[in-house]
Structure 1
Amino acid sequence: MKRLVPLVIGGLCAAVLTPAAAADTPSATGVAVTVARFATPDAATKAYTYDPALIAPGAAVVVVATPLRRSTKALLTVYGLVPNRTYGAHAHQRPCGALPTDAGAHHQHVVDPVQPSVDPAYANPDNEIWLDFTTDDRGRAVVGTVVPWRFADRRAGSVVIHAERTATEPGKAGTAGPRLGCATVRF
């Protein structure tokens, strides 16, 4: 039985499906929900930590992606991470795997013909889903974004958390350092 429960983090509240109900597949309305705890690659099923010093096993992640009329809203909630630290985060092409690179490159609505993409005309928060965040003094964060497009035949498969805030300058646009963790999301 699916149940919505309130999730309160840092004074913010969001309704999410209970972990048992979160099937990690889009609902009939197209809403995608992932609720998971990070684990090392040998034990992970939905959320992988590749750097346990910066994303400890047992830290939690919730991702909700909602199609709107002409856009997509994405919400990322984390807790149990390093306090007062900035992370980069983006939707990536494929589901998570044992290796940080298994998730592929950033999902782009309009794909840059030159890969890896570091051109700000393509690697930007309107063409990709960027969810950079800074944790509070308890290691929690809630961040959301709305992009001006909906998924069609190509869908993202995960949200990857990176070591640094996302760069925006030419030649570095979209880069955010090493991949620290990954949550599989069926956008």
Structure 2
Amino acid sequence: MRHFRTRSLTLTVTALAAALLAGTGQAGAQQEGAPGKTTIAHGTFAAYGPGQAAVTYDETLVPEGAMAGVLSVTRSHLGTITKLGVHGLVPNRAYGAHVHTKPCGPTGEAAGPHFQHVQGPSDDPAYANPENEIWLDFTTNAAGTGFAASRVDWTFGERRPESVVIHDHHTSTAPGEAGSAGPRLACLNVDF
């Protein structure tokens, strides 16, 4: 059963990639020299270990064996589109998720802060918002499956994020709390 779920999530992420690439239009897809990158990452959550692609820090809310996949397409004429799919999490529950600056580590804090296009205070709504960061909040269905998508008008420069972190709840936008989504529950390494 686990192999089927892994294959199913991989196919879903691959289908998302094909749809996004097709959605860029023939001119964009064939345009030579257009800077950009397509990234697909997926993993099965487990305790931290060297080389582990997906790490859980809270097995109650992100159980070992749950899965996640990320597709990111960045093009100068398109901006950056990022999609997240998860399976095997707690059913009918809200989670927060963001793109972070560093790779996953033995604790959630190892992934560093949220990646910001224009860097500023992490709780200031002028910087901590879904136009300057990549927010991927989602709510799981009865099967523990959830999806999220983000589109921003910018692309990555020399600074590139390295992970997606799943948080305890949807992201706050209130002053002094902007960007906050509670404890870091899990992390997926992504080669953005």
Shorter-chain TM-score above 0.5: yes
Deviations 1:54-85 (A, max 9, x none): 00001010001101324100000000000000
**Residue equivalent to 1:22:** none
Q: Distance in 2 between matches of 1:91 and 1:64?
A: 12
- Structure 1 moving runs of 4+ over 6 Å: none
Letter in 2 for 1:147: V
- Using structure 2 for the length normalisation, give the TM-score: 0.81
What count of residue pairs does the alignment treat as equivalent? 165
Secondary structure at the aligned position of 1:7 is classed as: helix
Q: Which one has the bigger helix percentage?
A: 2
**Residue equivalent to 1:90:** 98
8 A Cα contact 2:87 2:146, kept in partner: yes
1:35 to partner: Cα distance: 1.3
**Residue equivalent to 2:131:** 126
Q: Distance in 1 between matches of 2:139 and 2:93?
A: 5
Structure 2 residue 188 is matched with structure 1 residue 180: no
Q: Distance in 2 between matches of 1:142 and 1:70?
A: 21
| Mapping for residues 1-187 of structure 1, pairs under 5 Å | 6-7=11-12, 14-15=16-17, 30-42=37-49, 45-68=52-75, 69-112=77-120, 114=121, 117-187=122-192
Q: State the structure with more CA Rg.
A: 2
Deviations 1:123-146 (A, max 9, x none): 000000000000000000111110
Q: Where in structure 2 are there 5+ consecutive unaligned residues?
A: 1-9, 19-34
Q: What value does the CA root-mean-square deviation take over the aligned residues?
A: 1.8
Q: Where in structure 1 are there 5+ consecutive unaligned residues?
A: 17-27
Q: Distance in 2 between matches of 1:165 and 1:6?
A: 27
